[in-house]
Structure 1
Amino acid sequence: MNKKNVYKMMTSEMLETLNKQAELIGDTFSTDVTYEKMRENYVSERKFWNKGGPEPKQTVDLKIEGPYGSIAIRIHYPKKRRGNGSIVYIHGGGFVVGNIDTHSRIMRMLMEETESVVIGVDYHLAPEYKYPKQVEECVFLVEWLRNHAEKYNIDPNDIALAGDSAGANLCLATALYLRDNKKHVSYLRCLLLYYGTYGLTDSKSMRLFGGEYDGLSEEDLKTYRNMYIGGENKDLRYYDCLSNDLTHGIPPCYIACGNLDPLQDDSKLLNDILTYHHQKAVLEKFKGVIHGFLHYTSIVPEAKEAIRNGAKFYRGLN
């Protein structure tokens, strides 16, 4: 009851997307259904937003055997390529929904803007697979790519990680896990982190924003966390990344969020910690857009700008 009226604060294009969402699937982001139904709704709604966009020169679909079974990956090669760098894209969806199809257009746009290979990963979802299995799968994929780099024409010493929402969490967690357990991450060019959750369970932005329009009410956030983390007492440093040591060994970070996003304080705090400790980071906040806006590049100009600016950050580190 104390939340802001975000509808009055949205851009006209952002409002247009919400109207289209309601037309496509009435209750797209409801967590008051089974997780199977949540996935069905999410896949159905995202089909519309993934139409069109850049076409790769070549797409390779693979299945590799990971620590918890088969993992599907998708490699997009751009028509115009700059160097042999690659970007592993880790999709969002609260660790519960989403796949490489639901984030296809985002990956292809990032491919075109960076002029680099983009590799999507279908990590296993919660609640069937709980933390930290998803982190371990993403770590496994990075190491697998380095070991098979020559076969897929990528540089093993030039890999970036990118992701949105829960995928941004997994990007940062993967980098931290590699740093903590493999001792160096010099081969990671950067992290492109779009409106991630990094460990806050309450914040000013969570109190002011989030609702049925983005599926991120306080109860929704608790539902996702419970499905991912569960009730066991675990080492949460690779979920609550803000409790990990962020004072050293973090690849350069491009951090983006919308100013109507309940998770924006996670991004702001992450940026504050990194920059205070002289870790390279850039924070960009987009006005008038909600969580998940990266999906709406066909309508929302801020979505295109966020991908373009992340790509510029990535290219500038070469």
Structure 2
Amino acid sequence: MDPELAAAAALLRERGLVAASPVTAPIAEARAALDRISAFLAKGSEPLREEHTLTLPGGLRARLYRPDAAHAPVPLLVYAHGGSFAVGSLDGWDHVLRDIVRGSGCAALHLDYRLLPEHRFPAAHEDMVAGFRWAAANACEFGIDPGRLALGGDSAGANLALGAALALRDAGGPRPRFLLLHYGAYDTETDSASWQRFGQGAAGLSIASAEWLWANYLTDPAQRRDWRAAPLLADLRGLPPALLTIGTLDPLLDQNEALAARLAEAGIPCRLLRCEGLNHGFIRYGRLVSAVRRCLAESAAALGAALTKEPAHAA
């Protein structure tokens, strides 16, 4: 493990900031514990000059972050946080979205999608699709360029971003121009080599927690083969270019490598950024871990480059 990440984990334990797993704790307790950890990790994060919490049609909450001193219209990343489809909040990812916005020059719309157990599959998937459609339809009102939109997320959020891109492709649009996917869960399997090596709980994600997730997120075991839950099983042709990031200690390493390979086979420009010594869920640790800051900066730069250049079909 990266020594700074190990030190950060020790510091959290010293402060009594320990995650509560929804596998063994009440969901409210698990959410509150994650919020306390997130608040500590976000200390010192400076708000952008324009941050607005919005309520979209249907009651979906979101937070819009605009880059400082940006000239409209700007590109936009529509983003979903991680948290096993059960925990996570807008506030808990403020510092992450601010860093992405500052590093990319793009705006970001963070969606507060519906969580389990109150809302089960496919509610979160539907929220991600609806949020992107809303952003495309209302872009001009917020100084956003509707032709330069991206989808992104981390962990469960990356699953939702990829699933939404597939749904939008099949529906004929609107479509993102780029995918920014951090250590996503793209399949429901837990028997790969990386799961067996890193899935015992020390790497931030366990086989037990993953099996709990799928058992509680899905309403029918047959949905484990539904591409909206397991987008790695879908036909990936026609998707936009993508950047994938994954820690080398993450149980999801094999899934991310498989997705990168399948995107390449489908002719989709794709880069897989392997972050040495990092485990699952690292994206919020930038304040304490330089390797996370480097990974996030590289991700933001790739997003900015993808959305500021002219489309490939342009003259």
One-letter amino acid of the counterpart of residue 21, structure 1: L
Answer whether contact 1:24 1:45 (CA < 8 A) is retained: no
Q: Equivalent of 2:80, from 71, 75, 90? A: 90
Aligned to 1:33: 25
- Within the candidate set 49, 58, 64, 1:57 is matched to 49
Q: Find the partner of 1:195 among 183, 187, 192.
A: 183
Q: In the alignment, is the contact (CA less than 8 A) between 1:160 and 1:188 conserved in 2? A: yes
SS at match of 1:28: coil
Q: Distance in 2 between matches of 1:29 and 1:196?
A: 21
Change (3 A) 1:303 1:80: farther
Aligned partner of 2:7 in structure 1 is: 16
d(CA) in 2 for partners of 1:233, 1:124: 22
Q: Is it true that 1:145 corresponds to 2:143 in the alignment? A: no
CA RMSD of the aligned region, Å? 1.6
- Aligned mates of 1:146, 1:262 — CA distance in 2: 34
- Is the 8 Å Cα contact of residues 73 and 122 (structure 1) preserved in structure 2? yes
Contact 1:54 1:109 (C-alpha < 8 Å) held by counterparts: no
- Deviation per residue, 1:155-214 (Å, 9 max, x gap): 11211111110011011001011111x2245x4120100000001412110000034444
Aligned-pair distance for 1:232? Answer: 5.2
**Cα separation, 1, equivalents of 2:15 and 2:302:** 34
Q: Show the counterpart of 2:312.
A: none
Mapping of residues 111-150 of structure 1, within 5 Å: 111-150=101-140
Task: Determine the structure 2 residue equivalent to 1:161.
Answer: 151
Relative to structure 1, is the Cα distance of residues 81 and 242 closer, same or farther in structure 2, using a 3 angstrom cutoff? same
Give the unaligned 5+ runs of structure 1.
1-9
Report Cα offsets for 1:254-299 as digits up to 9, x if no partner.
Answer: 0000000011111100000111221110001011111111111011
Match of residue 238 from structure 1: 228
Q: Give the aligned residue type for 2:282.
A: F
Deviation at 1:309, TM superposition (A): 1.1
Match of 1:312 among 293, 301, 305: 301
Large movers: runs of 4+ above 4 Å? none
Cα distance between partner residues in 1 of 2:90 and 2:18: 22
CA distance in 2, matches of 1:65, 1:299: 38
Residue 81 of structure 1 deviates from its aligned partner by 2.8
> Which amino acid in the other structure matches residue 13 of structure 1?
E
Give distance in 2, aligned partners of 1:263 and 1:25: 27
Q: How far off its partner does 1:306 sit?
A: 1.5
Tell me the residue number matched to 1:100: 90
* Structure 2 counterpart of 1:169, one-letter code: N
Question: Are the aligned partners of 1:91 and 1:99 in contact in 2 as well (CA < 8 Å)?
Answer: yes
1:133-166: per-residue Cα shift (whole Å, max 9, x none)? 1111111111111221121110112111111100
SS of the counterpart of 2:140?
A: coil
In structure 2, how many angstroms separate the alpha carbons of the residues matched to 1:227 and 1:43? 21
- The correspondence for 1:253, drawn from 242, 245, 251, is 242
Equivalent of residue 216 in structure 2, options 215, 220, 227: 227
Of residues 167, 172, 175, the one that matches 2:165 is: 175
Take 1:280 and 1:106, find their aligned partners in 2: how far apart are those partners? 25
1:40-90 per-residue CA deviation (whole Å, 9 max, x = no partner) reads 211121110112234312111111222xxx111111111143651111111
Which runs of 5 or more residues in structure 2 are unaligned?
A: 310-315
- Identity among equivalent positions (%) equals 29
Partner Cα separation in structure 2 for residue 227 and residue 63 of structure 1: 27
Counterpart Cα distance in 1 of 2:37 and 2:201: 15
CA contact (8 A) 1:25 1:41 kept: no
Letter in 1 for 2:259: L
Secondary structure at the aligned position of 1:96 is classed as coil
Normalised to the residue count of structure 2, the TM-score between the two structures is 0.91
TM-score (ref. length: structure 1): 0.91
Partner residue, 1:5: none
CA–CA separation in structure 2 for the residues paired with 1:125 and 1:139: 15
**2:204 touches 2:279 (CA, 8 Å); kept in 1?**
no
Separation in 2, partners of 1:52, 1:213: 28
Q: CA deviation at 1:33?
A: 1.1
Give the structure 2 partner of residue 4 of structure 1: none
**Match of 2:268?**
279
Contact 1:171 1:193 in 2 (8 A): yes
**Residue 263 and residue 107 in structure 1: after superposition, are their counterparts in 2 closer, same or farther (change >3 A)?**
same
Q: 1:242, CA displacement in angstroms?
A: 1.1
Q: Which residue in 2 is equivalent to 1:72?
A: 61
Structure 1 residues 145 and 117 mapped into 2: Cα distance closer, same or farther (>3 Å)? Answer: same
Number of equivalenced pairs: 303
Aligned residue type for 1:231:
D
